[in-house]
């Protein structure tokens, strides 16, 4: 009976969980959109695309006047919600994710304004999460975008290095992403073992998805075969 109940809990939690990595991005001229499409061919992740509430704006017209005005408003008053352009409502529960990859176009050396709007609303819910940045610009360096992300996600665990893909390199994204994922050791940093370590150095439980208790210590995690597991009754993790 106990096992049946446990299996039921486990099956219910299987339905309640989502993948552990979230990719959130904005894209005006589709470069970041193409980059994200390549990225999710190489990792498992859920995707959220940010959309400005006001449709049809030409951010590049008149020497990028609208984009420039939005960035200036944020620079002048970054603590004021009204400095940020309104975006469509976003349905995301950040509690479901341990890792977040942010795909950002660069505008006037800053993070594109609509993506800053999202992070202004949700950045505080990302505390303790592992964060990486992918930035697309025509040519400008990306340190301003990194600073924006750190300002808007004050307690994120940022990982270096960010991936910078210039607009002219967009068609080579697949190769650049593959190399970057290797360089940042994405597989091991987002692995079951790393996540378990984050939960607690000493206390966690690992179940198979059919409900068997595998163990309560690091050794049981070290010896896991490839597959899906539930850790601390909460989520499914994939051991690669």
Q: Is 169 in the site for ligand FMN (CB under 6 A)?
A: no
When the beta carbons of 29 and 210 are compared against ligand FMN, the nearer one is 29
Q: Is 72 in the site for ligand FMN (CB under 6 A)?
A: no
Q: Is 29 in the site for ligand FMN (CB under 6 A)?
A: yes
Is-contact 27 103, C-beta < 8 A?
Answer: yes
Task: Tell the smallest beta-carbon distance from residue 71 to ligand FMN (Å).
Answer: 7
When the beta carbons of 88 and 125 are compared against ligand FMN, the nearer one is 88
Question: Residue of minimal CB distance from ligand FMN?
Answer: 67
- The two three-digit tokens of residue 161, written as one number: 């290095």
- The H or E element spanning position 193 is helix 192-199
CA dihedral for 179, 170, 51, 149, sign (positive or negative): positive
Nearest-angstrom CA–CA distance, 29 and 64: 13
Lay out the site mask for ligand FMN across 101-140 (x = CB under 6 A, - = otherwise). Answer: ----xxxxx--------------------------xxxxx
Task: Tell the smallest beta-carbon distance from residue 192 to ligand FMN (Å).
Answer: 33
When the beta carbons of 30 and 188 are compared against ligand FMN, the nearer one is 30
Q: Using DSSP, state whether 209 is helix, strand or coil.
A: coil
Q: How far is CA 4 from the centre of its chain?
A: 35
H and E: helices and strands count for the chain: 9, 11
| Interacting residues with ligand FMN (CB under 6 A) | 27-33, 59-60, 64, 67, 105-109, 136-140, 167
């Amino acid at each position: 009976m106990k096992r049946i109940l446990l299996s039921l809990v486990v099956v219910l939690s299987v339905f309640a969980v989502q993948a552990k990595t979230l990719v959130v991005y904005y894209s005006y001229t589709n470069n970041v959109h193409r980059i994200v499409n390549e990225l999710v061919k190489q990792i498992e992740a859920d995707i959220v695309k940010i959309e400005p509430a006001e449709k049809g704006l030409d951010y590049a017209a008149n020497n990028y006047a609208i984009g420039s005005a939005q960035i200036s408003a944020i620079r002048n008053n970054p603590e004021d919600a009204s400095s940020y352009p309104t975006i469509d409502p976003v349905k995301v529960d950040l509690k479901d994710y341990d890792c977040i990859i942010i795909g950002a176009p660069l505008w006037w050396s800053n993070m594109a304004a609509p993506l800053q709007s999202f992070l202004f609303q949700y950045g505080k819910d990302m505390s303790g999460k592992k964060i990486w940045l992918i930035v697309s610009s025509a040519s400008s360096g990306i340190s301003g975008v990194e600073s924006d992300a750190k300002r808007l996600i004050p307690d994120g665990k940022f990982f270096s290095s960010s991936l910078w893909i210039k607009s002219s390199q967009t068609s080579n994204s697949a190769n650049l992403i593959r190399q970057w994922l290797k360089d940042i050791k994405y597989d091991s940093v987002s692995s079951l073992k790393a996540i378990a370590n984050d939960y607690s150095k000493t206390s966690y439980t690992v179940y198979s998805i059919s409900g068997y208790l595998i163990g309560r210590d690091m050794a049981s995690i070290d010896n896991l075969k490839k597959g899906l597991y539930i850790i601390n009754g909460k989520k499914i993790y994939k051991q690669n």
